[in-house]
Amino acid sequence: MEKIKMTTPLVEMDGDEMTRILWADIKKELLEPYIDLKSEYYDLGLPHREKTRDQVTVDSAEATKKYGVAVKCATITPNAQRVEEYQLSQMWKSPNGTIRAILDGTVFRAPIMVKGISPVVKNWKKPITIARHAYGDVYKNSEFQPKGPGKAELVFTAADGKETRQTIFDFTAPGVLQGQYNTDRSITSFAHSCFQYALDSRQDLWFATKDTISKQYDHRFKDIFQEVFDAEYKEKFETAGITYFYTLIDDAVARVIRSEGGFIWACKNYDGDVMSDMVSTAFGSLAMMTSVLVSPEGNYEYEAAHGTVTRHYYRYLKGEETSTNPMATLFAWTGALEKRGELDGLPALRTFARKLEGAAIAVIEGGVMTRDLSALWEGEDPAQPVTSKDFLKAIRAELESAL
């Protein structure tokens, strides 16, 4: 078979530990034999971030803006222990944080579903994608603990010096206090990313906040979404046969649990943080959760939702063959290749990406899987837990027969 040609390079962001090992294996076993892989390679592995003083992370994000599509391996976010372990000159920031700040996007997380491993919520038949606004609110708050009686006020000093004051609370005893903010600009980009992604994936979009209680703050989110929708997406949604639906967060929670899935749930920052953990746990495994950052300009960065699987890596370093699940990392690749194919008009690349996903799912549904999944398996015949290497080989065999 002649290898599939690409026209625009994919921005390839390599990473750390066990996922770096899987990364190379996926390329060698499942991509390079079939695609004339065109990628612009950035090594975001911690040693190289240290060597370039983290410039490589910035460069990779800039390249994503230039080419439009990136695929990223999980990376270590250094803490004190990592600074020692890797002898770092400083505690470099989270690469995901740096990339997100440059691309200014929304993160969409969706589970990969397979027959034989069912969600805890039994009526969920299709994936639920969580879109989390990754800017502001409680994550950029100012907090204060009054130690005794006193008046807490909200003061805004406009650029022209004019002050607006509002009493928050008259404390008669010690307590706690918090201020938070967001910007119209960020909320607007969040809205665009959500509507764009809904159109791309042809799924309904739900959005929910607590606007009945937060009559200005949360209400602003609701209004901006509606304005953006009415101005730019209403007709496009009608044409695509999908809907935009706003409701109170309490109502959304109840509806999500009773639903059969198959939609995008847009959440404010904190709601998205908490709800994505609940939804991903209920779908089964973090190793089956994909993640894509979509910028308001339409740039895409695909990755797995899990980390570098450190515990497995330490076993790998001792010479053990591990049974680490490569599905989410593989789907980051297929998602990126499919998007590249779509943008560049390369149907062969898109078909290949879909067949590769199909082959990987078929292998699991046939009872062959990594150990994290075999524990959840409900198929009639017992699952066959295999090493990552053997799992990739099984996918290759399945793919060969599909091509």
Segment interacting with ligand NAP, rule: CB under 6 A, options 59-67, 70-78, 99-107, 119-127: 70-78
Residue-wise burial string across 354-387, b where 16 or more C-beta atoms lie within 10 A, e elsewhere: ebbbebbbbbbeebbbbbbbbeebebeeebebbe
Q: From residue 351, give the alpha-carbon distance in Å to each of 60, 207, 342, 395.
A: 27, 32, 10, 16
Cβ contacts of residue 274 below 8 Å, gap of 6+? none
The dihedral sign for the CA sequence 99, 55, 44, 35: positive
Q: Which is nearer to Mg ion, 273 or 390 (CB)?
A: 273
Q: Could you say whether residue 77 binds ligand NAP (CB under 6 A)?
A: yes
For 370, the token pair is 């990594």
Choice from 98, 209, 308, 334 touching ligand NAP (CB under 6 A): 308
Torsion angle (degrees, nearest 10) of CA 353, 358, 359, 362? 170
How far is residue 44's CA from residue 12's CA, in Å, rounded to a whole number?
9
Choice from 10, 35, 69, 74 touching ligand NAP (CB under 6 A): 74
How far is residue 322's CA from residue 387's CA, in Å, rounded to a whole number?
6
* Residue with the shortest CB distance to ligand NAP: 307
Q: Could you say whether residue 320 binds Mg ion (CB under 5 A)?
A: no
Q: Could you say whether residue 277 binds Mg ion (CB under 5 A)?
A: yes
Residue-wise burial string across 34-54, b where 16 or more C-beta atoms lie within 10 A, e elsewhere: bbebebbebbbbbebbbeeeb
Q: Which is nearer to ligand NAP, 182 or 388 (CB)?
A: 388
Q: Which is nearer to ligand NAP, 98 or 182 (CB)?
A: 98
CA nearest to 59, candidates 8, 13, 114, 9: 13
Q: Could you say whether residue 57 binds ligand NAP (CB under 6 A)?
A: no
Segment interacting with ligand NAP, rule: CB under 6 A, options 55-63, 134-142, 273-281, 304-312: 304-312
Site string for ligand NAP, 321-340 (x = CB under 6 A): ---xx---------------
Contact (CB, 8 A) for 228 and 188:
yes
**φ/ψ of residue 14, rounded to 5:** -75, 165
Q: From residue 325, give the alpha-carbon distance in Å to each of 1, 194, 211, 334.
A: 29, 29, 40, 16
Nearest approach in angstroms of CB 24 to ligand NAP is 15
β-partners of residue 263 are 128, 204
Q: Identify the H or E element spanning 401.
A: helix 388-402
Cβ contacts of residue 87 below 8 Å, gap of 6+? 50
Nearest approach in angstroms of CB 333 to ligand NAP is 14
Choose the contact partner of 75 out of ligand NAP, Mg ion, none; CB within 5 to 8 A by kind.
Answer: ligand NAP
Q: Which is nearer to ligand NAP, 312 or 340 (CB)?
A: 312
Q: Which is nearer to ligand NAP, 205 or 304 (CB)?
A: 304
Interface with ligand NAP in residues 370-399 (CB under 6 A)? 372
Q: Could you say whether residue 367 binds ligand NAP (CB under 6 A)?
A: no
Choose the contact partner of 226 out of ligand NAP, Mg ion, none; CB within 5 to 8 A by kind.
Answer: none
How far is residue 391's CA from residue 185's CA, in Å, rounded to a whole number?
45
Q: Determine how β-strand 69-72 pairs with β-strand 10-14.
A: parallel
Task: Tell me, by CB under 5 A, how many residues bind Mg ion.
Answer: 2
Nearest approach in angstroms of CB 53 to Mg ion is 29
Q: Could you say whether residue 273 binds Mg ion (CB under 5 A)?
A: yes
Segment interacting with ligand NAP, rule: CB under 6 A, options 47-55, 159-167, 248-256, 299-307: 299-307
Segment interacting with Mg ion, rule: CB under 5 A, options 32-40, 246-254, 274-282, 366-374: 274-282
Interface with ligand NAP in residues 277-296 (CB under 6 A)? 286-287
Nearest approach in angstroms of CB 315 to ligand NAP is 9
The dihedral sign for the CA sequence 385, 114, 17, 273: negative
Choice from 20, 49, 100, 306 touching ligand NAP (CB under 6 A): 306
Interface with ligand NAP in residues 162-221 (CB under 6 A)? none
Choose the contact partner of 273 out of Mg ion, ligand NAP, none; CB within 5 to 8 A by kind.
Answer: Mg ion
For 135, the token pair is 């800017």
How far is residue 312's CA from residue 165's CA, in Å, rounded to a whole number?
55
Q: Could you say whether residue 46 binds ligand NAP (CB under 6 A)?
A: no
* Interacting residues toward ligand NAP by CB under 6 A: 74-77, 96, 286-287, 303, 306-311, 324-325, 372
Residues engaged in binding Mg ion (CB under 5 A): 273, 277
